[in-house]
């Protein structure tokens, strides 16, 4: 029989304890693998590559969440493994005492339990990688089923190997310490129940005399078992920090980014243009959530230009509460270097280069713009001629310090006054004054009209507008931008919903840790509970005592983890977050659900124990 057969048989003999450790670590590994693979497939890496879905500005909002939540999952995994191994070794102290009593050396005992830890860790990491990959495939399949075409990238072997090695190493490091500490215990102490359960002297102060009998027993047990209590509170506090960051940050960022998209596209806005131009504009808006190939499109074709008669007829239509004309083109642009003052050298230094690229050029009337972008810097003034505002993806791809630089298009130089988050052409866009663009290109008519419709009589006004457009030019049509807006909002909603589900893995692992702690509590107090049952105490009273211990631990963990999570959330959140009273209630509701779920899960060992016969409880070794 091999040397590993004894540890394997020992693990199989303790199936429940072994299972909760494996499941807990498996879930942590699976969450990390899924998070990284999902980020690659969905396009979060755009903050470095400026390609694919999502504008660069939006991706730089998602990226901190991925990094931060991933880091918290790794920390939570290490803490959970450390606690679970501690619980496992606390229940094995007596076995170690007996092994020492018959002459087993410390190194043999340490090697025995380290073999168990190696087996558990390898199985958990392997299963975590498998489940993480499967979860990624399932989520991408769901996105495609919902209509968001996302290609499944090949699994990054090196990324998977990194996660496997990381968790394997952390599990061994954090799990080895409880084993090492336990193997150093003297045989006499190891056999003693006082040391076995980590019991210490009761506190010198009196617990409030008016408190109930159950509370006294619950608090006394927590104080006597300080080491285990502190460990479980630390473990759950880490999980609540992770859950708070994911839920609070996810909800706030979800509402904030949706607000940016809604303002950039506009609500109740109708696009009027040639049917080819309408299809092209739809394609430009869909680049925010789809990877579309850029096909050649002749924006300057005369058949796309808007006639004066159409503009006049629309401007006199009742129910249209705003209208603007735009000239949409595509051209090569060039970054121009700028100069900033260096306080160290007391000199002007050059920033930027002469990079070139292709950009969508949009001429707008500053005083009539219907969009409200989230802007860094400012929008160009109505009376300014040679100023431009650029999209976030274009800024990150071509510029070093865009607000201190200029951009050249059509052989003219424009000062960059602002950066905007814009889904049109996935942020690769440049806005300039309409009259200036008409003068430098010689195209004196717009090719797109944007109108805002009064929502009170929306259907009637749309029908009237459609009739006017078809009468003037049958090749023109109207396109309700709400359709594209809702697609982009749904895409953001699905992404943030996925991000908020990630803490579920850690919550399940945390519930297993709390179950392990409850089992340790029951093992230490089983004779005390047996005596209480013998003198007439009802089983539900035993359940209440154990549940009150769990509730106190959960409240302590929430008091530590939730404030830390909120502070960390505020540090990594997007600028100018949108927070409403409904947002606060939603966050509080989800956190309450997480608290209740953990509390309910901790009742299972208590209910199972309370149903045992009195003699079985008293005679339990």
| Residue 430 near residue 362 (C-beta atoms within 8 A) | yes
**How would you classify the pairing of strands 412-421 and 387-391?**
parallel
Distance CA 226, CA 219 (A): 11
Q: What is the mean pLDDT of residues 170-181?
A: 76
- DSSP, collapsed to helix, strand or coil, labels residue 207 as coil
Q: What is the pLDDT of residues 95-136, one digit of tens each?
A: 676 677 777 777 777 777 788 888 888 888 899 899 988 988
Residue with tokens 């990624």: 136
Q: Over 70: is that where the pLDDT of 54 sits?
A: no
- Cβ count near 391 (within 10 Å): 29
pLDDT at 53: 57
Q: Kindly tell me if the per-residue pLDDT of 49 is higher than 60.
A: no
Q: Looking at residues 377-391, what average pLDDT do you find?
A: 87
Distance CA 74, CA 68 (A): 10
Q: How many CB atoms lie within 10 A of CB 314?
A: 20
Highest mean predicted confidence (pLDDT) among 206-210, 360-364, 421-425: 360-364
Which of these ranges, 273-277, 295-299, 369-373, 429-433, has the smallest mean pLDDT? Answer: 295-299
Residue 306: CB atoms within 10 Å: 23
pLDDT band at 211 (very low <50, low <70, confident <90, very high): very low
Minimum mean pLDDT range among 151-165, 214-228, 365-379:
214-228
Query: What's residue 198's pLDDT?
Result: 47
User: CB–CB of 337/405 below 8 Å?
Assistant: yes
Task: Compute φ and ψ for 360, nearest 5 degrees.
Answer: -80, 130
Average pLDDT, the chain: 80
pLDDT tier, 286 (very low <50, low <70, confident <90, very high otherwise): confident
Please state whether the predicted TM-score (pTM) of the whole model is above 0.85. no
Quickly state the pLDDT bin for 71 (edges 50, 70, 90): confident
CB 469 within 8 A of CB 478: yes
3-state helix, strand, coil in the chain (%, to 5): 65, 15, 20
Q: What is the pLDDT of residue 328?
A: 93
In the block, tokens 């690229």 appear at: 357
pLDDT, residue 50, reads 41
Rounded CA separation 67/45 (Å): 11
DSSP 61-115: HHHHHHHHHHHHHHHHHHHHHHHHHHHHHHTTHHHHHHHHHTT--HHHHHHHHHH
Give start and end residues of each alpha helix (H) in 266-382. Answer: 275-286, 308-315
Task: Identify whether the C-beta of residue 413 lies closer than 8 Å to the C-beta of residue 336.
Answer: yes
* Residues comprising the chain, all counted: 621
- DSSP calls for 321-355: EEEEEEEEEEEEEEEE-EEEEETTTTEEEEE----
Least confident of 238-242, 389-393, 484-488, 608-612: 608-612
CA 231 to the chain's CA centroid: 26
């Amino acid at each position: 029989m091999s040397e590993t057969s004894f540890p394997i048989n020992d693990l199989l003999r303790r199936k429940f304890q072994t299972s909760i450790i494996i499941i807990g670590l498996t879930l942590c590994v699976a969450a990390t693998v899924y998070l990284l693979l999902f980020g690659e497939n969905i396009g979060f890496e755009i903050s470095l590559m400026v390609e694919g879905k999502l504008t660069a500005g939006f991706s730089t909002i998602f990226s901190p969440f991925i990094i931060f939540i991933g880091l918290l999952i790794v920390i939570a995994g290490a803490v959970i493994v450390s606690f679970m191994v501690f619980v496992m070794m606390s229940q094995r102290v007596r076995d170690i005492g007996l092994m020492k009593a018959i002459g087993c050396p410390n190194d043999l005992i340490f090697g025995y339990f380290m073999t168990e830890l190696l087996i558990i860790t390898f199985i958990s990491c392997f299963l975590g990688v498998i489940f993480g990959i499967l979860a990624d495939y399932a989520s991408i399949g769901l996105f495609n089923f919902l209509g968001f075409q996302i290609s499944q990238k090949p699994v990054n072997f090196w990324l998977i190997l990194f996660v496997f090695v990381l968790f394997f190493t952390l599990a061994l490091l954090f799990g080895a310490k409880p084993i090492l500490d336990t193997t150093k215990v003297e045989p006499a102490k190891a056999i003693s129940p006082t040391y076995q359960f980590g019991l210490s002297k009761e506190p010198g102060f009196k617990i409030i005399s008016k408190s109930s009998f159950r509370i006294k027993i619950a608090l006394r047990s927590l104080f006597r078992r300080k080491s285990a209590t502190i460990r479980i509170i630390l473990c759950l506090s880490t999980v609540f920090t992770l859950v708070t960051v994911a839920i609070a940050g996810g909800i706030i960022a979800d509402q904030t980014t949706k607000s940016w998209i809604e303002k950039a596209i506009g609500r109740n806005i109708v696009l009027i243009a040639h049917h080819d131009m309408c299809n092209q504009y739809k394609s430009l808006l869909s680049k925010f959530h789809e990877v579309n190939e850029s096909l050649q499109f002749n924006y300057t074709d005369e058949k796309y230009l808007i006639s004066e008669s159409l503009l006049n007829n629309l401007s006199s239509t009742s129910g249209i509460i705003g209208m603007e004309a735009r000239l949409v083109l595509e051209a090569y642009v060039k970054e121009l270097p700028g100069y900033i003052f260096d306080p160290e050298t007391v000199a002007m230094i050059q920033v930027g280069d002469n990079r070139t690229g292709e950009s969508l050029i949009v001429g707008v009337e500053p005083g009539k713009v219907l969009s409200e972008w989230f802007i860094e810097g400012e929008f160009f003034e109505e009376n300014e001629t040679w100023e431009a505002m650029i999209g976030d993806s274009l800024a990150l791809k071509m510029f070093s310090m865009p607000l201190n630089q200029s951009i050249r298009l059509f052989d003219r130089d424009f000062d960059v006054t602002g950066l905007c988050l814009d889904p049109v052409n996935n942020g690769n866009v440049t806005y300039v004054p309409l009259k200036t663009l008409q003068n430098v290109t010689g195209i004196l008519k717009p090719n797109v009209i944007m109108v805002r419709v009064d929502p009170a009589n929306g259907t009637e006004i749309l029908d009237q507008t459609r009739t006017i457009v078809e009468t003037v030019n049958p090749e023109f049509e109207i396109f309700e931008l709400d359709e594209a807006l809702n697609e982009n909002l749904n895409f953001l909603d699905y992404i943030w919903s996925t991000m908020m589900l990630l803490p579920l893995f850690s919550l399940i692992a945390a519930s297993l840790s709390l179950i392990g702690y409850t089992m340790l509590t029951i093992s230490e107090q089983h004779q005390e509970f047996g005596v209480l049952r013998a003198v007439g105490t009802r089983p539900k009273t035993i359940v209440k005592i154990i549940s009150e211990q769990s509730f106190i631990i959960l409240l302590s963990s929430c008091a530590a983890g939730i404030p830390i999570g909120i502070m960390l959330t505020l540090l990594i959140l997007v600028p100018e977050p949108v927070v409403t009273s409904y947002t606060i209630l939603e966050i509080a509701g989800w956190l309450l659900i997480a608290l209740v779920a953990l509390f309910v899960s901790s009742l299972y060992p208590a209910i199972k124990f309370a149903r045992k016969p009195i003699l079985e409880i008293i005679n339990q070794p």
